């Protein structure tokens, strides 16, 4: 694709400055580049001192890295955000309705809108959740919706993160860093706050406590431990909410309740924000070798003695094969057309789609149905002949394991380089809180940026960085 096809969020396609960036641009033009370079170094040092790192797996040994941070904010107008918010809320409501349905009457399957085998043969579907009614009917208490932009009013959902979406700590630290570095910018621009997220998260989780909860609910965060790639975030959120960070060995079932060890003995927990995958949650119900979970927690959960956020079995809603049915899912449960479109998707399990994908492999993006973090995917236009041949063999061997999508001309936003501002491709992960009290969408989210010129891969594990996301008060 040529540069002229790409929408730049600061200067459009025609190079004319867009309104959301007007005040920022006037400030930037008056700044000494040497001061900004010093500020960039200062921001990186702040991240290092705070310990904002993530672990990279899949190499000979785990490697801890600093998240690259860029000081140029991504700016979205209030009107654009309102439109996005309506689409996000509609989608999240549909996902929750879908999860309730597939674990109860499966009306969407009976109506022929989704093939039965897409549910029954899906490893993310948990038979243990059939007939279970989570408190308030909420399955996905915390959702991350990954969005990409291709034009002024064109946003697409790239994927739904309904299991244990991560990255919100980077959103909060990015904002904290920018407030420290450039307080004058926030005085000149009316930027909607994100700092209330931990308080909102705690309120939302407390509102999702089991109906039998008598007093102020006790909330805790369950982490797999210090070697998990997102451990920084688990500890950060527990600290910000003022709740206990626990591991599986800190918990046990006592008198039909899940309780955590304290200096005064065992204290019952009402809501557990778990960052442990389903398979490791309960060795009595799932993987018997798990050392990370709590034996018997599923029995307490099914009896209504604890809220687990997100609910077990929600992973089927962010499966990439199910994603391809999201337009039908939204329409089926809301009676409305989707306000946010999916990226067109070929399901390689279907012979005609597979034939098309194999014939056009060098033009498409191919993803594993259960993949994440940018791993297990092929970007056709930048792939080598060897990569293409390897994926051809993979697709023929296990077609149902893959979906394919066109290579979108993702929007760009400027990053700060030694030569000045330079465009790079981005995506956006807004964070959504769901409780019986309602749905709350934090204004902005995590912008991930591909730091290599021309690259479409924004994942931090693949060399991407992050930047602060501003939603303006219009």
Which of 52-56, 116-120, 408-412 has the least mean pLDDT?
A: 52-56
Strand partners, 368: 402
Q: What is the pLDDT of residues 311-336, one digit of tens each?
A: 999 999 988 889 999 999 999 999 99
The position carrying tokens 């993530």 is 54
pLDDT of 62 reads 47
d(CA 234, CA 396) in angstroms, rounded, equals: 40
Please state the pTM of the whole predicted model. Answer: 0.93
Q: What is the pLDDT of residues 130-159, one digit of tens each?
A: 999 999 999 999 999 999 999 998 999 999
pLDDT of 275 reads 97
CATH architecture of 344-407: 2-Layer Sandwich (3.30)
Q: What is the pLDDT of residues 332-387, one digit of tens each?
A: 999 999 999 999 999 999 999 999 999 999 999 999 887 655 567 898 888 899 99
Mean pLDDT of the chain: 92
Q: State the sign of the Cα–Cα–Cα–Cα dihedral 195, 198, 199, 201.
A: positive
Sorted by where each begins, the domain ranges of the chain are: 3-343+408-471, 344-407
Q: What is the pLDDT of residues 23-63, one digit of tens each?
A: 999 999 999 999 999 999 999 888 887 766 555 444 444 45
Instruction: Please state the three-class secondary structure of 314-351 as a single string.
Output: HHHHHCHHHHCCHHHHHHHHHCCCCCCEECCCEECCCH
């Amino acid at each position: 694709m040529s540069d002229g096809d790409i929408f730049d969020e600061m200067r459009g396609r025609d190079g004319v400055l867009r309104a959301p960036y007007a005040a920022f641009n006037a400030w930037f033009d008056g700044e000494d580049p040497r001061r900004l370079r010093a500020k960039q170094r200062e921001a990186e040092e702040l991240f290092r001192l705070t310990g904002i790192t993530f672990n990279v797996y899949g190499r000979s040994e785990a490697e801890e890295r600093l998240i690259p941070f860029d000081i140029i904010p991504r700016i979205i107008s209030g009107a654009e955000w309102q439109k996005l918010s309506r689409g996000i809320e509609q989608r999240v409501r549909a996902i929750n309705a879908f999860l309730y349905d597939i674990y109860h009457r499966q009306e969407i399957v009976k109506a022929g809108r989704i093939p039965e085998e897409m549910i029954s043969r899906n490893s993310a579907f948990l038979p243990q959740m059939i007939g279970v009614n989570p408190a308030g009917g909420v399955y996905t208490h915390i959702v991350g919706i990954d969005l990409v932009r291709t034009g002024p009013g064109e946003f697409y959902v790239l994927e739904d993160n309904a299991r244990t979406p991560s990255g919100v700590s980077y959103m909060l630290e990015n904002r904290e860093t920018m407030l420290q570095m450039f307080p004058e910018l926030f005085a000149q621009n009316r930027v909607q706050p994100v700092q209330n997220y931990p308080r909102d998260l705690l309120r939302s989780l407390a509102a999702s406590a089991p109906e039998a909860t008598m007093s102020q609910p006790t909330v805790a965060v369950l982490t797999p431990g210090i070697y998990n790639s997102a451990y920084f975030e688990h500890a950060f959120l527990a600290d910000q909410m003022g709740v206990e960070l626990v591991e599986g060995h800190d918990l046990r079932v006592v008198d039909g309740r899940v309780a955590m060890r304290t200096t005064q003995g065992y204290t019952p927990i009402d809501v557990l924000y778990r960052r442990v995958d389903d398979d490791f949650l309960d060795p009595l119900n799932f993987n018997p070798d798990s050392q990370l979970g709590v034996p018997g927690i599923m029995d307490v959960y099914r009896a209504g003695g604890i809220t687990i956020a997100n609910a077990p079995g929600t992973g089927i809603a962010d499966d990439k094969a199910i994603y391809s049915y999201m337009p039908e899912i939204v329409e089926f449960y809301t009676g409305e057309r989707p306000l946010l479109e999916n990226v067109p998707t070929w399901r390689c399990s279907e012979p005609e789609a597979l034939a098309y994908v194999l014939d056009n492999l060098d033009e498409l993006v191919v993803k594993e149905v259960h993949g994440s973090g940018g791993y297990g995917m092929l970007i056709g236009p930048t792939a080598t002949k060897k990569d293409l041949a390897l994926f051809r063999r993979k697709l023929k061997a296990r077609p149902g394991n893959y979906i394919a999508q066109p290579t979108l001309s993702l929007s760009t936003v400027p990053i700060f380089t030694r030569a000045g501002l330079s465009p790079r491709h981005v995506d956006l992960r807004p964070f959504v809180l769901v409780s019986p009290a309602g749905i709350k969408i934090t204004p902005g989210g995590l912008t991930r940026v591909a730091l290599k010129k021309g690259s479409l891969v924004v994942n931090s594990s693949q060399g991407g960085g992050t930047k602060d996301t501003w939603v303006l008060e219009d």
